[in-house]
A and B are shown apart, each in its own frame.
Chain A
């Protein structure tokens, strides 16, 4: 900000300044240097004027500070107390400004720390849940679902129940039980052994972890039991409790221990096993046995009542996100685990697969062992189909022979290859039931082979029919229904019956052939009959001749069926139809009266003979 009154270009002035004090010189100087003098005065004025000075300083102060800061730390040292004071003053004057200014910075930090708190809280809840994986926890889950609250909240509510089961008063050095009290109905382990174990564990902890003899365990977890340890100088109290014991109980434990330590100080110091001296500790210990249920009627301690409020506050402070996220993650993890277990179990339900073992290591990797029948489906693709990540598990398959109905059925099927007409059923008791239609030969073989297979105890073929049996039966019925009549005194059939006879004989040939395929043999009996005319001897002869004629005709047609011939004379009935015995007596007379052609006839009886060796087949035809 240079002054316009001082435009002068600077001249050389060095030699002049030495001649002061001389008036001529002054004049001369005035003449010569009027301009410079004005300049000097102006400068002086300027230097004395703080406003101008400040204005000038302001021009360079930033650069000056920068230069100094580069040089050394003096600037900081000089400014520090000032800044601090300044800051305090500002804070005092308008704290809200600072809060507002700092919140964006502090907010995340606070959330972070709240999140940590929640994390550890939830961890302990989850541990509780895992420990008490029981009917109770299922009920809690149900309650959470029903009320629409989060599971953790429900658990929180319930884990506020606690119960002090047992108190051990233990001599520290020897680990011997001095006194032991327990709640009624508590299943107790041997106190001496438990106490020895507790002492050993503590020794171990002390020896194994850094901290030296002064540090000691506060509590232990054994299953769902928490063991609170309260040490005195020569003895300690171990308190087995379930649930979440309030801090206030700790305090009582501490007080009791201190009281006992004083009460028994001599006995404890000189202790050499005389536990009977500590009987009077019972009362003190029994006071500590304590059960507290969360019960609507029971007055809740203040801290429990405040808990929801506290949680709410924390919740709001934490922005709610963490809880939710955590909860979701937990539920998701749990769901994944449950899904895995369920899937494994489901695959284990597959016929011929048996889930033997599942284990999950700390990294979450599963180890799965199945037993598998050679005929069962491979578990791997089944698990794949369920969307299980193949990398999440290691699978071991141990072969075995399954006796499951499905597997046995499969095994039987593979062996006996039943035709489509046969259906199979398998009973729990190991009976294989075959039904439908199949060839006799197949039935026999299937029967034998099925019986040899593991899991098959019995084979029931009563539901199986060879279709040829039906055919055989109908052909036999045709033959046996054929009656061939003869003219009086002749052994050649009446001409009307020749076609009938031919058909019967053809059928017999077919029966014979079919029987051969069925592993059965056919025998034929031909009964010849005569009418009542003439004497009996002749009647027998003629009846036998008639039968023989027919047999000869049959052989002529190429049959080789063994035939038995019966000349029945004038007797009424053939081998088969032993009908109405009453008629027999009067038969001769009636027939004589009518000269009935129908009495001069032959009849057939077909016998199916089972071939050895399989006796089981005897029933097939009947």
Chain B
């Protein structure tokens, strides 16, 4: 990680360098950490710093010639998302709201949290991830998803387990965040 960092320092002088704070929110055990781990580890490291209620990891990607550092804030939320944690959303430039596709109630929680996040961080790019798509007992119907999309919410089905659509989701958010800069 040191080498990577010093590369960044060198790159400072030459290339376009952008950092983005991205938050993972969602009910307990929907797979937030698993998604981060899947995405981060697929390139360089599964290391993270865990501190007061948040795990911070990062991933460098190159997006159309821009070196983008995604600093991922993974909330270690419980079912009741305490106000304290909302302060982590401050300054977020994008976020994922994660839903466990096998537990309907986590979608309601996710939508609630999404509203809170938008209030706190402003109208920033975000995607709702319906995770655990590899599991059979799916509780969220496609009609419900279509409904959400119709209301302007971006939704993607992912699986942290198989890796399905994980990379796409993160890159897609990255793109949305860098658009118009």
Binding site for B on A (CB under 8 A): 171-177, 179-180, 187-194, 196-197, 200-201, 203-204, 206-208, 272-276, 279, 282
Contacts and interface: CB of A to CB of B under 8 A. Distances in A.
B181 A272 contact: yes
A172 B54 CA distance: 17
Nearest to A171: B91
Interface in B57-90: 57-58, 69, 71, 73, 83-84, 87-88, 90
B90 A173 contact: yes
30 contacts: A173-B91, A174-B19, A174-B90, A175-B71, A176-B19, A180-B5, A187-B2, A188-B5, A190-B4, A192-B5, A192-B19, A192-B71, A193-B56, A193-B58, A193-B71, A196-B21, A196-B49, A196-B58, A196-B73, A200-B51, A200-B56, A200-B73, A208-B84, A272-B93, A272-B181, A273-B19, A273-B20, A273-B181, A276-B18, A279-B12
Given A197-B51, A272-B93, A192 B88 contact: no
Contacts of B21: 174-176, 196, 273
Contacts of B90: 173-174, 203
B18 A196 contact: no
Contacts of A179: 12
Contacts of A193: 48-49, 56-58, 71
A345 to B, nearest CB: 33
Interface string B1-27: 110110011001101111111000000
Given A174-B92, A272-B181, A273-B177, A201 B71 contact: no
Given A201-B51, A201-B52, A191 B5 contact: yes
Contacts of B51: 197, 200-201, 204
Contacts of B83: 207
Contacts of B52: 200-201, 204
Contacts of B5: 180, 188, 190-192
Contacts of B87: 203-204, 206-207
Contact of A174 (B1, B48, B91, B181): B91
Contact of A273 (B2, B49, B54, B93): B93
* Max chain A Cβ within 10 angstroms of own Cβ: one of B8, B18, B57, B71: B71
Nearest to A203: B87
In the complex, the 10 A-B pairs of residues with the closest C-beta atoms, listed nearest first: A174-B91, A173-B91, A196-B56, A204-B52, A276-B17, A203-B87, A176-B19, A273-B18, A174-B21, A207-B84
A172 to B, nearest CB: 8
B19 A190 contact: no
Contact of B19 (A172, A177, A188, A200): A177
A279 to B, nearest CB: 5
Interface of B is mostly: mixed
Nearest to B48: A193
Nearest to A178: B19
Contacts of A206: 87
Nearest to A208: B84
Contacts of A175: 21, 71, 91
A161 B111 CA distance: 54
Contact of B17 (A173, A197, A272, A275): A275
Contacts of A194: 49
Contact of B181 (A187, A191, A274): A274
Contacts of B92: 174
Contacts of A196: 21, 49, 56, 58, 71, 73
A275 B49 contact: no
A276 B15 contact: yes
A190 B1 contact: yes
Contacts of B8: 191
Contacts of A172: 91
Given A196-B73, A200-B88, 13 more contacts: A174-B91, A174-B92, A180-B5, A191-B8, A192-B19, A192-B71, A197-B56, A200-B54, A203-B88, A207-B87, A276-B12, A276-B16, A279-B12
B100 to A, nearest CB: 25
A117 B52 CA distance: 33
Given A175-B91, A180-B9, A203-B88, A275 B53 contact: no
Nearest to A276: B17
Contacts of A192: 5, 19, 58, 69, 71
Nearest to B53: A204
Nearest to A195: B71
A170 to B, nearest CB: 11
Contacts of B58: 190, 192-193, 196
A279 B69 contact: no
A40 B73 CA distance: 106
Contacts of B71: 175-176, 192-193, 196
A188 B2 contact: yes
Given A193-B49, A196-B49, A204 B84 contact: yes
A208 B53 CA distance: 12
A216 to B, nearest CB: 13
A196 B54 CA distance: 10
A275 B19 contact: yes
B18 A274 contact: yes
Nearest to B13: A279
Interface string B21-50: 100000000000000000000000001110
Contacts of B16: 274, 276
Contacts of A174: 19, 21, 90-93
A208 B87 CA distance: 11
B177 to A, nearest CB: 7
